[in-house]
Amino acid sequence: MRIETNGRPAAAADLFSTYGHFTAMQVRDGGVQGLAHHLTRLDAAHRELFDRPLEADRVRDLVRHALDGTPDASVRVVLRDAEHVVVTVAEPHHPPAAPQRLRSVPYLRPFAHLKHLGGFAQLEWARRVGRDGYDDALLTTPDGAVAESSIANIGFLEPDGAVVWPEAPWLHGTAMRLVEDTTPSSRRLVPLADVAGFAGAFLVNSIGVVAVASIDDVPLPDGGPLLAGLVDRLAAVPWDRI
Protein backbone atom coordinates (compact mmCIF):
# COMPACT_ATOMS: atom_id res chain seq x y z
CA MET A 1 0.00 0.00 0.00
CA ARG A 2 1.17 3.50 -0.84
CA ILE A 3 -0.19 6.64 0.89
CA GLU A 4 0.57 10.19 -0.17
CA THR A 5 -0.56 13.58 1.09
CA ASN A 6 -0.52 16.40 -1.45
CA GLY A 7 1.93 14.39 -3.54
CA ARG A 8 4.43 13.50 -0.77
CA PRO A 9 4.71 10.46 1.52
CA ALA A 10 2.00 10.73 4.16
CA ALA A 11 2.93 11.57 7.75
CA ALA A 12 1.20 9.99 10.74
CA ALA A 13 -0.54 13.27 11.52
CA ASP A 14 -2.21 13.16 8.09
CA LEU A 15 -4.02 9.93 9.02
CA PHE A 16 -5.12 10.64 12.57
CA SER A 17 -8.49 12.38 12.41
CA THR A 18 -11.73 10.47 11.83
CA TYR A 19 -13.46 13.66 10.64
CA GLY A 20 -13.72 14.15 6.91
CA HIS A 21 -14.97 12.61 3.68
CA PHE A 22 -13.63 10.35 0.96
CA THR A 23 -14.32 8.46 -2.21
CA ALA A 24 -13.17 4.97 -3.17
CA MET A 25 -12.60 3.95 -6.76
CA GLN A 26 -11.30 1.02 -8.75
CA VAL A 27 -8.62 1.79 -11.34
CA ARG A 28 -8.18 -0.46 -14.34
CA ASP A 29 -5.61 0.27 -17.04
CA GLY A 30 -5.28 3.79 -15.66
CA GLY A 31 -9.01 4.55 -15.90
CA VAL A 32 -12.03 4.82 -13.60
CA GLN A 33 -15.68 4.25 -14.42
CA GLY A 34 -17.77 7.27 -13.49
CA LEU A 35 -14.76 9.41 -12.62
CA ALA A 36 -16.85 12.57 -12.95
CA HIS A 37 -19.26 11.23 -10.32
CA HIS A 38 -16.38 10.67 -7.90
CA LEU A 39 -15.02 14.17 -8.46
CA THR A 40 -18.46 15.77 -8.17
CA ARG A 41 -19.14 13.94 -4.91
CA LEU A 42 -15.79 15.01 -3.46
CA ASP A 43 -16.46 18.63 -4.38
CA ALA A 44 -19.99 18.63 -2.94
CA ALA A 45 -18.88 17.06 0.35
CA HIS A 46 -15.91 19.45 0.56
CA ARG A 47 -18.19 22.45 0.17
CA GLU A 48 -20.53 21.09 2.84
CA LEU A 49 -17.84 20.20 5.39
CA PHE A 50 -15.15 22.79 4.69
CA ASP A 51 -17.02 25.62 2.94
CA ARG A 52 -14.85 25.60 -0.15
CA PRO A 53 -14.67 23.78 -3.48
CA LEU A 54 -12.23 20.99 -4.28
CA GLU A 55 -10.58 21.40 -7.66
CA ALA A 56 -11.09 18.32 -9.81
CA ASP A 57 -7.84 18.73 -11.77
CA ARG A 58 -5.86 18.87 -8.54
CA VAL A 59 -7.41 15.60 -7.36
CA ARG A 60 -6.68 13.92 -10.69
CA ASP A 61 -3.06 15.11 -10.63
CA LEU A 62 -2.56 13.77 -7.10
CA VAL A 63 -4.15 10.41 -7.93
CA ARG A 64 -1.92 10.06 -11.01
CA HIS A 65 1.13 10.91 -8.89
CA ALA A 66 0.24 8.35 -6.23
CA LEU A 67 -0.45 5.64 -8.83
CA ASP A 68 2.99 6.26 -10.32
CA GLY A 69 2.11 4.23 -13.41
CA THR A 70 0.31 1.42 -11.56
CA PRO A 71 -2.39 0.35 -14.05
CA ASP A 72 -4.79 -1.51 -11.72
CA ALA A 73 -5.49 -0.53 -8.12
CA SER A 74 -7.96 0.36 -5.42
CA VAL A 75 -7.69 4.08 -4.72
CA ARG A 76 -9.09 6.20 -1.92
CA VAL A 77 -9.07 9.98 -1.87
CA VAL A 78 -9.54 11.27 1.68
CA LEU A 79 -10.02 14.83 2.93
CA ARG A 80 -9.68 15.34 6.69
CA ASP A 81 -9.35 19.10 6.35
CA ALA A 82 -9.70 21.71 3.63
CA GLU A 83 -6.16 21.49 2.24
CA HIS A 84 -4.65 18.02 2.63
CA VAL A 85 -5.57 15.48 -0.05
CA VAL A 86 -4.61 11.97 1.05
CA VAL A 87 -4.44 9.34 -1.70
CA THR A 88 -4.17 5.65 -0.84
CA VAL A 89 -3.18 3.09 -3.49
CA ALA A 90 -3.76 -0.61 -2.75
CA GLU A 91 -4.34 -3.86 -4.58
CA PRO A 92 -7.45 -3.93 -6.81
CA HIS A 93 -10.65 -5.33 -5.32
CA HIS A 94 -13.20 -7.55 -7.04
CA PRO A 95 -16.85 -8.23 -6.16
CA PRO A 96 -17.77 -11.44 -4.34
CA ALA A 97 -18.44 -14.38 -6.65
CA ALA A 98 -21.34 -15.81 -4.64
CA PRO A 99 -24.76 -14.19 -4.10
CA GLN A 100 -24.89 -12.47 -0.74
CA ARG A 101 -26.95 -13.38 2.31
CA LEU A 102 -28.01 -10.26 4.19
CA ARG A 103 -29.32 -9.76 7.68
CA SER A 104 -31.31 -6.63 8.48
CA VAL A 105 -30.22 -4.44 11.40
CA PRO A 106 -31.98 -1.40 12.90
CA TYR A 107 -29.40 1.23 12.00
CA LEU A 108 -28.96 4.16 9.62
CA ARG A 109 -25.67 5.94 8.99
CA PRO A 110 -25.65 9.48 10.39
CA PHE A 111 -25.46 12.09 7.61
CA ALA A 112 -26.09 9.22 5.22
CA HIS A 113 -25.79 11.39 2.10
CA LEU A 114 -22.07 11.88 2.85
CA LYS A 115 -19.33 9.30 2.34
CA HIS A 116 -17.71 10.27 5.61
CA LEU A 117 -15.07 8.81 7.90
CA GLY A 118 -15.67 7.16 11.24
CA GLY A 119 -18.09 4.42 10.20
CA PHE A 120 -17.64 2.27 13.32
CA ALA A 121 -21.30 1.32 13.78
CA GLN A 122 -21.93 0.03 10.26
CA LEU A 123 -18.70 -1.99 10.33
CA GLU A 124 -19.58 -3.42 13.73
CA TRP A 125 -23.01 -4.46 12.49
CA ALA A 126 -21.32 -6.12 9.50
CA ARG A 127 -18.95 -7.95 11.87
CA ARG A 128 -21.79 -9.13 14.08
CA VAL A 129 -23.93 -10.50 11.28
CA GLY A 130 -20.82 -12.09 9.76
CA ARG A 131 -20.26 -13.90 13.03
CA ASP A 132 -23.75 -15.39 12.57
CA GLY A 133 -22.97 -16.61 9.06
CA TYR A 134 -24.29 -13.72 6.94
CA ASP A 135 -22.31 -11.87 4.29
CA ASP A 136 -23.31 -8.31 5.16
CA ALA A 137 -25.64 -6.16 7.20
CA LEU A 138 -28.68 -4.52 5.61
CA LEU A 139 -29.32 -1.17 7.28
CA THR A 140 -33.00 -0.37 7.91
CA THR A 141 -35.15 2.42 9.32
CA PRO A 142 -36.81 2.10 12.76
CA ASP A 143 -40.03 0.97 11.09
CA GLY A 144 -38.33 -1.72 9.00
CA ALA A 145 -37.77 -0.07 5.62
CA VAL A 146 -34.67 -0.97 3.62
CA ALA A 147 -31.92 1.64 3.22
CA GLU A 148 -28.50 0.29 2.15
CA SER A 149 -25.93 -2.32 3.10
CA SER A 150 -22.92 -1.54 5.26
CA ILE A 151 -20.81 -0.62 2.20
CA ALA A 152 -23.09 -0.67 -0.85
CA ASN A 153 -26.38 0.43 -2.33
CA ILE A 154 -29.08 -2.18 -2.77
CA GLY A 155 -31.38 -2.30 -5.77
CA PHE A 156 -34.46 -4.44 -6.43
CA LEU A 157 -35.39 -5.74 -9.87
CA GLU A 158 -38.82 -5.43 -11.42
CA PRO A 159 -40.03 -8.15 -13.86
CA ASP A 160 -39.21 -5.88 -16.80
CA GLY A 161 -35.63 -5.33 -15.59
CA ALA A 162 -36.17 -1.84 -14.16
CA VAL A 163 -34.57 -1.07 -10.79
CA VAL A 164 -36.30 0.11 -7.62
CA TRP A 165 -34.03 1.88 -5.16
CA PRO A 166 -35.23 2.13 -1.55
CA GLU A 167 -36.56 5.53 -0.53
CA ALA A 168 -34.61 5.96 2.70
CA PRO A 169 -31.49 7.72 4.00
CA TRP A 170 -28.55 6.35 2.00
CA LEU A 171 -25.44 7.39 0.15
CA HIS A 172 -26.06 8.11 -3.53
CA GLY A 173 -23.18 5.91 -4.64
CA THR A 174 -21.15 6.52 -7.77
CA ALA A 175 -21.89 3.01 -9.07
CA MET A 176 -25.57 3.48 -8.26
CA ARG A 177 -25.48 6.59 -10.45
CA LEU A 178 -23.99 4.56 -13.30
CA VAL A 179 -26.78 2.00 -12.98
CA GLU A 180 -29.30 4.87 -13.09
CA ASP A 181 -27.56 6.15 -16.23
CA THR A 182 -27.93 2.78 -17.99
CA THR A 183 -31.08 1.09 -16.59
CA PRO A 184 -34.58 2.52 -15.97
CA SER A 185 -34.80 3.29 -12.25
CA SER A 186 -37.21 4.63 -9.68
CA ARG A 187 -37.31 5.12 -5.91
CA ARG A 188 -39.93 4.08 -3.42
CA LEU A 189 -40.30 2.82 0.12
CA VAL A 190 -39.30 -0.85 0.36
CA PRO A 191 -40.48 -2.52 3.59
CA LEU A 192 -38.66 -5.68 4.61
CA ALA A 193 -41.97 -7.53 4.28
CA ASP A 194 -42.04 -6.76 0.53
CA VAL A 195 -38.56 -7.85 -0.57
CA ALA A 196 -39.58 -11.34 -1.75
CA GLY A 197 -42.06 -9.79 -4.18
CA PHE A 198 -39.33 -8.48 -6.49
CA ALA A 199 -37.74 -10.36 -9.37
CA GLY A 200 -34.34 -10.20 -7.68
CA ALA A 201 -31.99 -7.89 -5.82
CA PHE A 202 -28.35 -6.84 -6.01
CA LEU A 203 -25.68 -4.84 -4.21
CA VAL A 204 -23.59 -2.32 -6.10
CA ASN A 205 -20.62 -0.12 -5.28
CA SER A 206 -17.38 0.86 -6.99
CA ILE A 207 -16.11 -2.72 -6.62
CA GLY A 208 -18.95 -4.07 -8.77
CA VAL A 209 -22.33 -5.82 -8.69
CA VAL A 210 -23.30 -8.94 -6.76
CA ALA A 211 -26.66 -10.68 -6.48
CA VAL A 212 -28.53 -10.92 -3.18
CA ALA A 213 -29.58 -14.46 -2.34
CA SER A 214 -31.64 -13.77 0.80
CA ILE A 215 -32.58 -11.19 3.40
CA ASP A 216 -33.18 -12.44 6.95
CA ASP A 217 -33.34 -16.00 5.60
CA VAL A 218 -36.12 -15.05 3.17
CA PRO A 219 -34.95 -16.35 -0.24
CA LEU A 220 -35.04 -13.84 -3.07
CA PRO A 221 -35.68 -14.80 -6.68
CA ASP A 222 -32.65 -15.27 -8.90
CA GLY A 223 -32.40 -12.16 -11.07
CA GLY A 224 -30.88 -14.27 -13.84
CA PRO A 225 -30.98 -12.58 -17.26
CA LEU A 226 -32.39 -9.36 -15.76
CA LEU A 227 -29.33 -8.89 -13.58
CA ALA A 228 -27.01 -10.09 -16.33
CA GLY A 229 -28.38 -7.39 -18.63
CA LEU A 230 -27.82 -4.73 -15.98
CA VAL A 231 -24.25 -5.93 -15.46
CA ASP A 232 -23.58 -5.94 -19.21
CA ARG A 233 -24.84 -2.37 -19.59
CA LEU A 234 -22.73 -1.28 -16.65
CA ALA A 235 -19.66 -2.99 -18.08
CA ALA A 236 -20.10 -1.02 -21.32
CA VAL A 237 -19.66 2.31 -19.51
CA PRO A 238 -16.30 3.78 -20.62
CA TRP A 239 -13.37 3.95 -18.19
CA ASP A 240 -12.26 7.58 -17.95
CA ARG A 241 -8.53 8.27 -17.94
CA ILE A 242 -7.39 9.81 -14.67
Q: 168 near 146, Cβ under 8 Å?
A: yes
Going by C-alpha positions, the residue among 192, 207, 203 that lies closest to residue 227 is 203
pLDDT single digits (tens) 136-171:
999 999 999 999 999 999 999 999 999 999 999 999
Q: 29 near 72, Cβ under 8 Å?
A: yes
- pTM of the full structure: 0.96
- Looking at residue 5, its pLDDT comes to 98
What confidence category does residue 118 fall into, taking pLDDT thresholds of 50, 70 and 90? confident
CA-to-CA dists, residue 117 to 34, 64, 81, angstroms? 22, 23, 12
CA-to-CA dists, residue 134 to 57, 216, 221, angstroms? 41, 9, 18
pLDDT single digits (tens) 184-208:
999 999 999 999 999 999 999 999 9
H or E segment at 65?
helix 56-67
- Looking at residue 236, its pLDDT comes to 97
What percent of the residues of the chain are helix, what percent strand, and what percent coil, each to the nearest 5?
Answer: 30, 35, 40
Residue 166, SS3 per DSSP: strand
User: What is the set of domains in the chain, with CATH numbers?
Assistant: 2-90 (3.30.470.10), 100-239 (3.20.10.10)
pLDDT single digits (tens) 36-74:
999 999 999 999 999 999 999 999 999 999 999 999 999
